[in-house]
Structure 1
Amino acid sequence: MTKSFFFAAAFMLFTNYTSGQENNHQLLYDKPAGQFEEALPLGNGRLGVMVYGGVNTERFSLNEATLWAGGPVNPDMNPEAKNYLKPVREALFAENYKKADSLVRFMQGKFSESYAPLGNLFFDFKHRGQVTDYKRELDIQNAISRTSYTINGTTYTRETFISNPDQLVVIRFTASGKDKLDFTCRLNSLLQHKVSSSNKDLLMKGHSPVHVSPLNHGNEVIWDDVNGMRFSAHIKVLKTDGKVVAKDSSLTVSGAGEAVILLSMATSFNGFDVNPGTHGKDELKIAAGYLHKAKSYAVLLKKHTADFRKYYDRVQISLGDEDRAGMKTMDRLNAFAAGKSDNALVALYYQYSRYLLISSSRAGGQSTNLQGIWNEKVQPPWSSNYTTNINAEMNYWGVETANLPEMHQPLLDFIGRLAKTGAVTARNYYGASGWVLHHNSDIWAMTNPVGDFGKGSPAWANWPMGGNWMATHLWEHYAFTQDRVYLSEQAYPLMKGAVQFCLDFLIPDKKGRLITAPSTSPENYYVTSKGYTGALLYGGTADLAIIRELFNDYVKASEILNTDPDMRNKVKNALKNMLPYRVGKAGNLQEWYHDWKDEDPRHRHLSHLFGAYPGYSITTAQDPVLADAVRKTLTVRTNDGTGWAITWRINLWARMQNGERAYDALKKLLRFVGNGAEVKMKGGGTYANLFCAHPPFQIDGNFGGGAGIAEMLLQSHQGYIELLPAIPVEWKDGSVKGLVARGGYVVNMGWKDKKLTSAVLKAKNTGICKVKYGSKTIDISVVAGKEYSLNELL
């Protein structure tokens, strides 16, 4: 078979598998959203909108990524904290866990601040009558929301998108028929604000609180119009053939066949270490500037579409069942839950995870928080902050494989800010060098242990591994991109700082093995052989797994850059002397230093399995015994849990190369759990708008779920690229194009009856690439920029 013939056959096969998925890029509904979990998200990385699609009144809830409560952190709030480290360790090594628990609370600080909702934009329509042909959709391929319906023979349509190039929300209304557009536009906010109107403009300005206590930890909301972050929302009628009247803090458009509305939003945020009230940016000037530059609707749409498609179109995926693509999204969710096949729904969910990432994480902007950029509450669940004992990191688990390396950059930049405040926290709380991050953070790069100065449980408050976990992302970005300049100038110094903290923090146990103390396994509790239930201990497996991963990454980076040989040797020696992984008497991977039981055997967190995923110090090829222990642990924990917890199980089962167990978890992730308080009894799943239900909403499950789907199709963590490592029987036929493996390799492949039928690899660098499929492994000599067929594996 000639090479040209092979490529032609592969292309035809791929075309056949992908031709049916052209319509599988929409979320479709036949009625307006009644609540947040039914509304449709739009975003450009900085601006976020939830579109409700109402008939008489349309509502857009508004967010701006930098609008947070609070201001720059004071890292010296607990100067006595480090004095308790030695007594805590002494109590732990004396096995007096209760005393250690009480002492470690003196090493806590303030809570993080909350991500704030900017407000709401309403359009009140005067049309009345019987509504027919209602349709609401989110086109995730073009990042456009559309609503249409007919009243009295007139068809009304709305199109909304948020442009990244122009930094504007763009809304276009049309009416086709005898009745015309007549509507009033108004703004409001849950924050302190004022609204005014003039000519064809509408302006809302206000400020956020200087402090918001976390939900379930009080109802304190403190306002300060001097130091609070300011915001503005500025509306302009760009075009209409009707009449525009400004009156009483509103705009009215009447007698129009078309109206194009622009919304610009901005805040006074001027950096994580700058008071946004007294030294903030001019948010009014910024918002007005974006409006001033806007051209026609056609130009805005063209620039927006080209920008978004540049990222979205890099990956195509087909898993079959494309005939279901035209169904209403709720019907698909319900049918899937009832056991009907809808592999196209899985493919849609994967692309939706990519859509959400492109929409909420853009280079130069903020890292996605617990709800991405979409939040409607002054006191959102868990402050909609950065929860760094998994959730903030999970948002970026799949970013590199999804061919979206640019969207990783906000997190990598955030790590740089955390390192600055974290250096003060390391010194003040532990007397250590380097930098440290605990359980929570916010836009102000807070790094101290949370807990409100002793009121928080050590199970979550006193966990100092957040910085080390974050730092593994620095290496992963290099592993995929092979960007040596980035490794040298950005990643390596930050990795080195995290490593320095660990070297100072590690301490020998009674047998001379390096461990952490104090230690926890995030949010989980042990039961000792004497019946004591606690969280604080020494030498927890999760801590050591994260540090082991960071140390291995650092050694590789140091060797590539040929720098710091003395420190590299210290790290290598520390790796040799660390407490190793151990298998418990039940065959599970031991979570605690002693072989204790869990208070909750099915606990949602799987932190001690970090070495299997997202790390890879435990692999199926090199560590079969430990891999079996991981499988045993997963079996005991089950595939049930909160939304993000289910996605962790998808990824772990994929790493363990068990496609059926991974798919079982995926099915649980995609179960419709409804809206409202009753879902708290049902566990995690998916809301009507495909947002992940913790419950309540957390976006990490969307991103973790996408990562898990990709992990089932492609892996590259064991020193080679493996094709279809965990494909379930349900994905009998399919294809994928554009996934990325470590080393920067882009992979296209198709399969039929679970057998690989085509595979093409594009190399980023010149060298030797190892590829595995089933029992076959080949070495390919590749040249940067060229494509290679992998027909030897077929």
Structure 2
Amino acid sequence: MQTKLYFVCSNLCKLMQLKLLPALLLLTGIATAQQKGNTLKLWYQQPAKEWTEALPVGNGRLGAMIFGGAGDELIQLNEATLWSGGPVNNQVNPDAYKHLPSIRAKLFKGDYAAASEELKEMQGLYSQSYLPLGDIHIKQQLPGTPAAYSRDLNVADAIAGTTFTSNGIGYTREIFASGKDQVIVIRLTANKKQQLNCKISAGSQLRHQQLVSGQQEITLKGKAPAQVDPSYVNYNKEPIIYEDTKGCKGMRFELKLRASSSDGSIKADTGGITISNATQAVILVSAATSFNGFDKCPDNEGKDEHKLATAYLQAAAQLPFDELRRRHVDDFHYYFNRVSFILPPSPGEDRTKLPTDERLRRYATGAQDAELEALYFQFGRYLLISSSRLNGVPANLQGIWNKELRAPWSSNYTININTQMNYWAAEAVNLPEMHRSLLTLIQNVASTGRYTAKHFYNTRGWAANHNTDIWALSNPVGNLGKGDPQWANWPMGGNWLCQHLWEHYRFTGDKKFLRDTAYPIMKAAAQFSLDWLVSDGKGHLVTAPATSPENKFITETGVKSSVSIATTMDMSIIRDLFSNLVDADSILQTDMAFRDTLLQKKSKLLPLQIGKKGNLQEWYKDWEDEDPEHRHISHLFGLFPGREISPLTTPAFAEACKRTLAIRGDGGTGWSKAWKINVWARLLDGNHAYKLLRELLKISSNDATDYHNAGGTYSNLFCAHPPFQIDGNFGGTSGITEMLLQSQLNAIQLLPAIPDAWASGEVKGLVARGGFVIDMQWADGKLKKATILAKNGGPCRLRVLQPLKGSNNLALSALKGDGTGYLYTFNTTAGNVYTLIAE
């Protein structure tokens, strides 16, 4: 039976100023529904033994990992701006560019090994490291053996809890990181009067001193190192240096704890805070650093960390616990409740009654658990809100949660995939405010990147390479020749970051942001690319040297190398940047001469190529990969996150991408699997995307090291690289979003890659490019109802599989012969809601 769908439009007045949008959403009921029950809760029947079993809370600046021990609670703390080092040294390797002519000559002669070796001469210093703040221990005196134990994390409210009994007395802990009041709040209770007795202490791996700052308060004052080597660098005698006489000394930090109780006694001394004979106690945790911006020395130009930490603490201490909790929940709900995703419970027992680790174990053996998949999607949104609230300080490789003094890969910003993956979903899952953390860091990196472009590459504009940090590092890393060019030398990082500037405009329609912020930065990146490109002598413009991040090829003569000419990723990123700038100027109409230059140069870029195996070719020539199942699929950039390739517009290249994925296989690290979910969704293959989602949710252990097969999920739902990297969580949420909604082309695709396993469901509050907020319900794999809120107004192009019959003068055109469904084009008014109903 043919399904018929009808449009209904309702005018909701002119409430579309961004500051009134939350009121509009509440008025319409769009994107405000919070899932009921405990479907959005992680819970366990035992305390965490490992860090990857602990539960994360965060307010974008302060983060905590909660272990939940009954008699000995451990809470590991972080502060988002606590990094080693100081502003970038612009005097590093100033003559690096002089090696370019020689390197290029070697490349065009085919001497790739020699070119790679000389490319090391164009390296700068490593990034700095994200650091742990400290630990809190709560040693609780219990009258007996703990029983009836449970700990949980309510993702919908951003509150972690622990409950247990001891000798018939019930004890609870409630912990949250307040974005409103900028403190971590811990409430301890006993259900019998004056049965709460505990001692709270704090410490740090960093150099510090502890002070008693009042009857109820202790303070840690500390200093971060001036230099911390990456964890994989082992050739320096002192990998951690506190006093750097050559440059800026490390930043200062302060951590403060204050306890209060209505009926117990509290005493602070050098050993900590002792709470005796209380029924309830509240502990406030405040912290701050002297970080004062990427270009200010945090020592002699730093902020007053004592003043900041004290102000946060004193303000929060004026509020009762219930008010602190209410303010926290209201603040978190403002962001989180914009989107809901409901999948019908899988048949059988109520899986939400099972501990999360048990659910994961059963899921790994093939059990169906649709609610776990929906929880994972929302957990990604929870983590983004919790780790990304500061301008210029986006979520790093571990969000804001790190326990290591020398974190894996320095817990930095890796911009050859990982940092971008953190923010792929931000706009689509209705969290543009979180995206601003990255957008402002890009502005900082563009600033230091001008020096990098001039002194490392002898070009105009700006460039950034493989890594950056809170100081906006942009030079090639490697410590002046000690790094492998396969990851150290790759100047496309800045160009890729520019895609996020353009995407923010496409989702929001913020023309002022496009004109004043995005376009100048994108143009300067394009100027770098124009100067970086060279002729290959065959009529094409190419990059040289070029790498495909972290991968190696084998030439026809058996030579293994990573450095060549015009990798597909390089060329795809440059085409994407040029295309985005051309589109931007068609809106702004202010730079037509430069637009013409871009169009002319774009036409000469080396095009995409299909290899002898039918795959999308990764290298300049059709070489073999040293590792055919390599975790990176960089050459598929044009498919995702780009928009150059699509089954709808370039079917031959889309098929080549499928062949590439077949050769690569479905294995890989956690974030690699997440990347592939997005790619398969863009190929409109929801069942394959879903297969990889199930593999991403495979429970993993801390001792896993096989990058081809060990990637999965720890019991606290953190993504296992291994070790933990948060980009896999964010990439997984992005992949689910791409299965439900796509808008990268000229139309919004509803349910473009819905898998058979999700035959029915409902999602509210997703955002499509153009500023359209979309709710959908579907059954039997087909759309039943969609509601579209036009935030900005203007034309809406909608692609659906079912034929439509519209009203209200909607213009209809059906695509023919390609099996992609039907295309509607209709005009919208800002503030109007359009409802699509299936009979």
Same fold (TM over 0.5): yes
Q: Which has the higher contact order (CA 8 A, sep 6+)?
A: 2
Counterpart amino acid of residue 787 in structure 1: V
CA drift at 1:349: 0.3
Q: Is the 8 A contact 1:527 1:597 kept in 2?
A: yes
CA drift at 1:320: 1.9
Between the aligned partners of 1:157 and 1:183, the Cα distance in structure 2 is: 13
Report SS of the residue matched to 2:791: coil
Partner of 1:139: 154
Counterpart amino acid of residue 109 in structure 1: G
Between the aligned partners of 1:750 and 1:180, the Cα distance in structure 2 is: 51
Counterpart amino acid of residue 24 in structure 1: T
Q: Is the 8 A contact 1:659 1:727 kept in 2?
A: yes
Between the aligned partners of 1:781 and 1:756, the Cα distance in structure 2 is: 21
Report SS of the residue matched to 1:121: strand
Q: Is the 8 A contact 2:419 2:727 kept in 1?
A: yes
Q: How does 1:3-42 map to 2 (within 5 A)?
A: 21-42=36-57
Q: Is the 8 A contact 1:21 1:318 kept in 2?
A: no
Q: Is the 8 A contact 1:119 1:190 kept in 2?
A: yes
CA drift at 1:223: 1.1
Partner of 2:331: 307
Task: State whether structure 2 residue 236 is matched by structure 1 residue 232.
Answer: no
Partner of 2:241: 222
Task: State whether structure 2 residue 218 is matched by structure 1 residue 199.
Answer: no
Between the aligned partners of 2:631 and 2:595, the Cα distance in structure 1 is: 36
Partner of 1:780: 826
Task: State whether structure 2 residue 227 is matched by structure 1 residue 211.
Answer: yes
Report SS of the residue matched to 1:274: coil
Partner of 2:409: 382
Partner of 1:790: 836
Task: State whether structure 2 residue 562 is matched by structure 1 residue 535.
Answer: yes
Between the aligned partners of 2:399 and 2:536, the Cα distance in structure 1 is: 41
Counterpart amino acid of residue 558 in structure 1: D
Report SS of the residue matched to 2:672: helix
Between the aligned partners of 2:7 and 2:575, the Cα distance in structure 1 is: 44
Between the aligned partners of 1:238 and 1:624, the Cα distance in structure 2 is: 65
CA drift at 1:589: 0.3
Partner of 1:183: 198
Q: Is the 8 A contact 1:673 1:682 kept in 2?
A: no
Report SS of the residue matched to 2:47: coil
Comparing 272-281 with 64-73, greater Cα deviation is found at 272-281
Report SS of the residue matched to 1:58: strand
TM-score (normalizing by structure 2): 0.92
CA drift at 1:677: 4.9
Between the aligned partners of 1:103 and 1:116, the Cα distance in structure 2 is: 34
TM-score (normalizing by structure 1): 0.97
**Structure-2 change in CA distance of 1:251 and 1:679 (3 Å):** farther
Q: Is the 8 A contact 2:343 2:760 kept in 1?
A: yes
Alignment deviations for residues 197-248 of structure 1 (CA, whole Å, 9 cap, x no partner) = 2311110011111111111212611112981111110111244420011222
**Structure-2 change in CA distance of 1:753 and 1:21 (3 Å):** farther
**Structure-2 change in CA distance of 1:654 and 1:680 (3 Å):** closer
Task: State whether structure 2 residue 91 is matched by structure 1 residue 76.
Answer: yes
Partner of 1:109: 124
Q: Is the 8 A contact 1:621 1:718 kept in 2?
A: no
Report SS of the residue matched to 2:208: strand
Report SS of the residue matched to 1:325: helix
Task: State whether structure 2 residue 291 is matched by structure 1 residue 269.
Answer: yes
Counterpart amino acid of residue 654 in structure 1: A
Between the aligned partners of 1:176 and 1:271, the Cα distance in structure 2 is: 47
Between the aligned partners of 1:548 and 1:472, the Cα distance in structure 2 is: 11
Q: Is the 8 A contact 2:127 2:473 kept in 1?
A: yes
Comparing 744-753 with 222-231, greater Cα deviation is found at 222-231
Q: What value does the CA root-mean-square deviation take over the aligned residues?
A: 1.9
Counterpart amino acid of residue 64 in structure 2: V
Alignment deviations for residues 756-791 of structure 1 (CA, whole Å, 9 cap, x no partner) = 111111111222211111212212221111111123
Between the aligned partners of 2:90 and 2:690, the Cα distance in structure 1 is: 45
Match of residue 495, structure 1, among 522, 538, 544: 522
Q: How does 1:338-737 map to 2 (within 5 A)?
A: 338-364=365-391, 366-677=393-704, 682-737=709-764
Q: Is the 8 A contact 2:667 2:709 kept in 1?
A: no
Alignment deviations for residues 281-309 of structure 1 (CA, whole Å, 9 cap, x no partner) = 11011100111112111221111111100
Report SS of the residue matched to 1:726: coil
Between the aligned partners of 1:678 and 1:590, the Cα distance in structure 2 is: 29
Between the aligned partners of 1:477 and 1:697, the Cα distance in structure 2 is: 28
Between the aligned partners of 1:27 and 1:698, the Cα distance in structure 2 is: 19
Between the aligned partners of 1:363 and 1:277, the Cα distance in structure 2 is: 20
CA drift at 1:130: 2.1
**Structure-2 change in CA distance of 1:283 and 1:531 (3 Å):** same
Task: State whether structure 2 residue 803 is matched by structure 1 residue 757.
Answer: no
Q: Is the 8 A contact 1:154 1:178 kept in 2?
A: no
Between the aligned partners of 1:95 and 1:3, the Cα distance in structure 2 is: 61
Between the aligned partners of 1:200 and 1:179, the Cα distance in structure 2 is: 18
Between the aligned partners of 2:786 and 2:715, the Cα distance in structure 1 is: 36
Counterpart amino acid of residue 160 in structure 2: S
Between the aligned partners of 1:675 and 1:522, the Cα distance in structure 2 is: 26
Partner of 2:72: 57
**Structure-2 change in CA distance of 1:440 and 1:6 (3 Å):** closer
Structure 1 unaligned blocks of 5 or more:
none
Report SS of the residue matched to 1:414: helix
Q: Is the 8 A contact 2:448 2:473 kept in 1?
A: yes
Report SS of the residue matched to 1:376: coil
**Structure-2 change in CA distance of 1:424 and 1:727 (3 Å):** same
Q: Is the 8 A contact 2:786 2:836 kept in 1?
A: yes
Q: Is the 8 A contact 1:18 1:735 kept in 2?
A: no
Counterpart amino acid of residue 200 in structure 1: Q
Between the aligned partners of 2:553 and 2:250, the Cα distance in structure 1 is: 42
CA drift at 1:363: 4.7
Q: Is the 8 A contact 1:18 1:318 kept in 2?
A: no
Between the aligned partners of 1:283 and 1:476, the Cα distance in structure 2 is: 35
Between the aligned partners of 1:184 and 1:679, the Cα distance in structure 2 is: 42
CA drift at 1:675: 2.5
Query: Runs (4+) of structure 1 moved beyond 4 Å?
Result: 1-7, 17-21, 677-682
**Structure-2 change in CA distance of 1:500 and 1:19 (3 Å):** closer
Among all aligned residue pairs of Structure 1 and Structure 2, give the percentage whose two residues are the same amino acid.
48
Task: State whether structure 2 residue 113 is matched by structure 1 residue 91.
Answer: no
**Structure-2 change in CA distance of 1:195 and 1:520 (3 Å):** same
Between the aligned partners of 1:443 and 1:357, the Cα distance in structure 2 is: 18
Structure 2 unaligned blocks of 5 or more:
12-25, 802-820
**Structure-2 change in CA distance of 1:365 and 1:445 (3 Å):** closer
**Structure-2 change in CA distance of 1:3 and 1:564 (3 Å):** closer
CA drift at 1:3: 7.5
Match of residue 356, structure 2, among 329, 336, 340: 329
CA drift at 1:732: 1.4
Between the aligned partners of 1:4 and 1:271, the Cα distance in structure 2 is: 50
CA drift at 1:75: 2.0
Between the aligned partners of 1:194 and 1:207, the Cα distance in structure 2 is: 10
Between the aligned partners of 1:595 and 1:678, the Cα distance in structure 2 is: 31
- Between Structure 1 and Structure 2, how many residues are aligned? 787
